[in-house]
Structure 1
C-alpha cells in the first residue's frame, strides 16, 4: 500500500508537470498553425493523465490479489504510520489549494481530482495501519499481513471508477460533441428574446466545449415577417449574447450568422 501511495504521488507530480508545460504552450499564441486555438491539447493531456492513473490502478490491483493469495505482506506498522500521517497532511494541503483555485480550467479540475484521490488513498493508508497496529495487540495478530493487500483492493477498487468516468467525459470534448445541457439551456434562454424582438422564425444552435474554450455557433433564419436586421443590429445582437453569457466563465468563440435560406445554416456541402 505504501508503494502504491508513493508511486501514485510520484506519477501525480510528473503528470502535474506535464499539465503545466502544456498549459504554458496553450497560452502562447500561434494563429498561423492553430487558427482555432490550442485548447484541443487540454482534453488530450487530461485523457493521458487518467489513462496512466487507470493503468497504475490495474497493475496495483493485480499485485494486491497475488500478494493476498500468497499469504499477505509483512509490514513495519510503526514506520508505516509515520509515512501515512505526513503524506496525508501534505496531500490535504495541495487538494485544498487546488479546490480554491480550480475555476473552470480543465487542467486544474483534473489536478484537484488527482490530488483528491491521493488524499483519500493516504487517509485510507493511515486508517489501515492504525487498524493493523490495534490488531497486533489482539489474538488475531496473524491477520496483520493481510491488512496491506486488503487495503489496496478496497482503495484501488473504489478509485477505478474515477479515471474511467473522466476519460469518457473528456473524450466527448476530443470528438467535439455537444456541450453540457445546462450550457445549452443558458444560451437558448439568451437567444429566445432576440428571436421575439426581431421576429426571427427559427435559429440553429451548435455548442461544443473543448478544454477551456466554448465554441458557440448560432444561425438565425429570417422569414418574410422578420424585421430588417442591419449590420449594426447584428453586432448589437452579438454583444448582447456575450454580455448575457458572462457567467459561463470559458473563453468563447462566437459565430453568429443570419440567412433567409435554411440551407446555408446546414454548414455541410458536397
Structure 2
C-alpha cells in the first residue's frame, strides 16, 4: 500500500494536475457557453470553476494535514479533510439547485435557441478530457479521501458532458421532424437531467464527511487489514480475542484494543512487545495509526 508519506506526495501531485486541467476546462466552458448562449455549457463551466476552487482548497488542506501535530493541535489537523469534503458537497449541491431553478424558469419562458452542433462538439471534448483525468486521479491512491472525492467530481463531469453531447444529437434529430420547436427546450431539459445525474455525487461527499466527523468506523478494507494484524499478534503471543474499536479521520487511524489476560502472567515489557508487534503489522498502511493497546486482568476494564 505504501507509507503515509508516499501517499501524501502522490495525493498532492494528482491534485495539482487536476487543478490545471479543471482551470483549463472552466475557461473553455465559460467562453464556449457565452458564445453559444447555452445554459448547460455554462452550468458545466460553473461546475468546473467550483471544482477548481475546491481542488485548490483540497491541495492546501493536504499540506496542512500533513504538517503534523503542534502544541495547539496535539492530534494534528486531519479533521480538516472531512470538513473540506463536506464543503465540496454543499457547494456542488447549491450549484445544482440554482441551475435546476434557472432551467425551469427558461422552460416556462418558452425555451431558448441553442446551436446543437456546438453542444455536440463541447460535450465530446469535455467528456474525453474528464474521462482521462477521472481515470488518472482514481488510480493514483484509492486510500486518499481527497482523491476519492476528486475522482467522483471528474466522473460526474464526464457523465454530464456525455449527456450534453447525446442530448444535442437528439436536438439535431428533432430539428428535422415535426417536433422542431421542441429543440428550444433541449438545452434546459439537459440542465435538469444533468442536475439529477450529478446529485448523488455531492450526497456521497456529504455522507463520507459526516461519517468521519462523527468518528465512524473506517472502510471494510481498512478494517480487514486491522483484523489481520490483530490475528497475527494473537498467534504470536497466545492472546484471546480483544475488544476492538477503530475510527478514521483523514489519514489518521485510531485503534483501541484491550486483551483479557490471566493475573500475574504479564509485565510491562510484555505489554510493550505486543504494542510493537501490532504497530509493525500495520506499518505498510498508508495511514498514521494512533494505537491504544492494553492488557488487563479486570473484565470491568474491557472497552
Q: Is the 8 A contact 1:206 1:216 kept in 2?
A: yes
Which position in structure 2 is the counterpart of 1:50? 89
Q: Is the 8 A contact 2:153 2:201 kept in 1?
A: no
- Report the CA distance between 1:161 and its aligned residue: 2.0
Which position in structure 1 is the counterpart of 2:279? 242
Rate the CA distance shift 1:58–1:89 in 2: closer, same or farther, 3 A: same
Q: How does 1:112-261 map to 2 (within 5 A)?
A: 112-192=151-231, 194-195=233-234, 198=237, 200=239, 203-224=242-263, 228-246=265-283, 248-261=285-298
Q: Please give the secondary structure, in 2, of the residue aligned with 1:52.
A: helix
Please, which of 12, 28, 31 is the counterpart of residue 51 of structure 2? 12
Which position in structure 1 is the counterpart of 2:20? none
TM normalised by structure 2 equals 0.78
Name the CA distance, whole Å, in 2 between partners of 1:247 and 1:27: 17
- Report the CA distance between 1:125 and its aligned residue: 0.9
Computed over aligned residues only, the root mean square deviation of the Cα atoms, in angstroms, reads: 2.3
Alignment partner of 1:29 is 2:68: yes
Q: Please give the secondary structure, in 1, of the residue aligned with 2:75.
A: coil
- Report the CA distance between 1:79 and its aligned residue: 2.7
TM normalised by structure 1 equals 0.87
Deviations 1:186-214 (A, max 9, x none): 43343246446655456221201101221
> Unaligned stretches of 5+ in structure 1?
none
Name the CA distance, whole Å, in 1 between partners of 2:106 and 2:213: 39
Aligned residue-pair number: 264
Deviates more, 1:15-24 or 1:77-86: 77-86
Q: Is the 8 A contact 1:51 1:167 kept in 2?
A: yes
Q: Please give the secondary structure, in 2, of the residue aligned with 1:190.
A: helix
Name the CA distance, whole Å, in 1 between partners of 2:128 and 2:245: 45
Deviations 1:67-119 (A, max 9, x none): 22332222122333332232222222221221121331111111111111111
Q: Is the 8 A contact 2:233 2:278 kept in 1?
A: no
Name the CA distance, whole Å, in 2 between partners of 1:58 and 1:39: 30
Name the CA distance, whole Å, in 2 between partners of 1:159 and 1:222: 53
Deviates more, 1:154-163 or 1:116-125: 154-163
Q: Is the 8 A contact 2:89 2:202 kept in 1?
A: yes
Name the CA distance, whole Å, in 1 between partners of 2:221 and 2:123: 41
Higher share in helix: 2
